[in-house]
């Protein structure tokens, strides 16, 4: 990376705060604002790319890249990131990778990749107790590129080397839901809009974006 710096500087001021990450403590000072300085690189980058490395969050756009140390990111957004262990303990949910539907009978994968056996109507350990259209809840985070509510491609920011992520609770329809009281209705996946810190690849900005997150199942008119 050369020393040529483009005229793009993002500064975020935060109040002084001390954060605990794993067994170590990170001290944040208000006089140390978050600064993203994009510098020219020799290798062309056709589309915006985000890398998570031990050096921090690396954002590349066109022929320029900038690196944000994870500690700086954590201090600038102190209530945005958390560990899987802390989140699951707080919510009482289990962590699973991203799921579109609940796996078939007896086939659900734990966070360690082990297969579990169980009834097809109770594959996931936590449900909302609804008889008609049960919602199965679990904790997760998004590693893949996602579109925001404006259909703009975004990369969700995480701090993997500090083991801190933007955790969310997903709720998906189970395989045994039915609207028996009304045959004209069917169980359908419903979404809520939630905010996540992301790099917008269309606007080339780091900011909080709105995303449609699957959160519950409901009886809706139409099959």
The pLDDT value recorded for residue 30 is 56
Q: Which tokens in the block code for residue 140?
A: 């997760």
Contacts (Cβ under 8 Å, ≥6 apart) of 89 = none
DSSP string, 23-85: TEEEEE-TTS-EEEEEEE-SS--SS-EEEEETTEEEEEETTEEEEE-HHHHHHHSTTT-B-HH
pLDDT digits (tens, 9 = 90+) for 100-123: 544 443 333 443 444 443 444 555
Position 214 scores a pLDDT of: 92
Domain boundaries, the chain: 1-79, 80-223
CA dist 215 and 92 (Å) reads 16
> Which helix (H) or strand (E) element contains residue 90?
helix 84-91
Percent of the chain whose pLDDT exceeds 70: 63
156-200, pLDDT tens digit by residue?
Answer: 999 999 999 999 999 988 776 778 767 788 888 899 999 999 999
* Third-level CATH fold of 80-223: 2.10.90
For the segment 4-56, what is each residue's pLDDT rounded down to a tens digit?
A: 333 322 322 233 333 334 434 566 665 455 666 677 666 666 678 898 988 89
Task: Choose among 79, 92, 175: nearest CA to 139.
Answer: 92
Q: What is the DSSP letter of 89?
A: H
- Which residue, chain included where needed, has tokens 């939630």? 194
Model confidence over 120-142: pLDDT tens digits?
455 554 667 777 888 888 999 99
* CB 59, CB 204: distance < 8 Å: no
Structure tokens at 1: 């990376």
Residue 164 has a pLDDT of: 95
């Amino acid at each position: 990376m050369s020393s040529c710096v483009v005229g793009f500087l993002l500064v975020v001021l935060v109040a002084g705060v001390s954060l605990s990450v794993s067994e170590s403590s990170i001290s944040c000072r208000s006089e140390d604002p978050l600064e993203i300085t994009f510098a020219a690189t020799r290798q062309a980058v056709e589309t915006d790319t985000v890398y998570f490395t031990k050096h921090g969050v690396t954002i590349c756009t066109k022929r320029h890249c900038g690196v944000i140390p994870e500690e700086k990111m954590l201090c600038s957004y102190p209530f945005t990131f958390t560990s899987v262990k802390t989140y699951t303990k707080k919510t009482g949910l289990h962590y699973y990778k991203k799921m579109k539907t609940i796996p078939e009978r007896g086939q659900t994968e734990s966070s360690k990749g082990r297969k579990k056996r169980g009834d097809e109507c109770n594959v996931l350990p936590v449900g909302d107790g609804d008889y008609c259209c049960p919602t199965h809840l679990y904790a997760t985070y998004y590693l893949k590129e996602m579109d925001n509510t404006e259909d703009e491609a975004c990369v969700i920011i995480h701090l993997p080397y500090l083991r801190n992520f933007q955790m969310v609770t997903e709720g998906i329809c189970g395989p045994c839901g039915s609207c028996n009281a009304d045959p004209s209705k069917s169980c359908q996946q419903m979404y809520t809009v939630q905010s996540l810190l992301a790099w917008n690849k269309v606007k080339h900005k780091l900011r909080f974006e709105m995303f449609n997150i699957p959160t519950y199942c409901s009886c809706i008119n139409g099959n």
